[in-house]
Amino acid sequence: MTFASLRLWTALSLVALTLAGTALADPGAMSFFVTSSGSGKGADFGGLAGADRHCQALATDAGAGQRTWHAYLSTQGPGAVDARSRIGQGPWQNAKGVVVARSVQELHGENNLTKQTALTEKGEVVNGSGDKPNRHDILTGSQPDGTAYADAADHTCRNWTSSTDGSVQLGHHDRMGLRDDAPSRSWNSSHPSRGCSDEALRSTGGAGLLYCFAAN
């Protein structure tokens, strides 16, 4: 075999391996992702049900629409809903088949959620701290244990209906912030936003993205 032939054979082999790896990825097995896009109206999804529809639509486009998808969001006020109570029991894996958590308890404890594992429904890495633009702020409206806030402050942009006034609690999908402390490393409850509009969310360090979990 000539050197040129060897190089061609090697290149074709690498292509074949890449295609084989792609073929092994089963979209239907995905049970967790970060949305590749927001609502287009900041934190306004038309309420919790609208956020769920956003997750469902993106999952369907990615080939995982046979599952029931819920946004990891809490609400406030009468009948408040905890994010942790609406995402099923796990385990959850990303678009590449990597498990990010085996249970609700592990998800809110020592989980495997990082910039490299918190992929979109397309299997893409989301920009984090140090990238331009930074998109690591993920909407949650939740406390670190995944429960709703019970105080009078707005942590959910008026229960996901405001694109102007209010604020929302955010998590860092890359587990990085301005300091090396627990809030900066929190995937679901790092700090509040500067407002509820797309502009306010961008200026804080995000793009109005959500965590979506298969609840079944």
Domain chopping of the chain, boundaries:
25-214
Q: What is the pLDDT of residue 177?
A: 87
Average pLDDT, integer, range 185-193:
97
Q: What is the DSSP string of 150-207?
A: -SSS-SBHHHHT-SSS--BEEEETTS--SSSSHHHH-SS-SEE-S-SSHHHHHHHTEE
Q: How crowded is residue 126: how many other Cβ atoms within 10 Å of its Cβ?
A: 22
CA 140 – CA 23 distance, rounded (Å): 33
* C-beta of residue 39 within 8 angstroms of C-beta of residue 193: no
The CATH number given to 25-214 is 3.10.100.10
Q: Do residues 171 and 140 touch, judged by C-beta distance below 8 A?
A: yes
Q: Give tens-digit pLDDT for 9-52.
A: 334 433 333 333 343 458 789 999 999 999 999 999 999 999 99
pLDDT at 125 over 50: yes
**Model confidence pLDDT, tens digit, residues 66-103:** 999 999 999 999 999 999 999 999 999 999 999 999 99
> CA 124: distance to chain centroid?
11
**In this model, does residue 176 exceed pLDDT 80?**
yes
Average model confidence (pLDDT) for the chain?
90
- The rounded distance, in Å, linking the Cα atoms of 166 and 77 is 15
pTM over 0.85: yes
Q: Is 132 exposed, middle or buried (0-12, 13-18, 19+ CB in 10 A)?
A: exposed
Antiparallel, parallel or unpaired: β 137-139 and 206-214: parallel
Q: Is 84 helix (H, G, I), strand (E, B) or coil?
A: helix
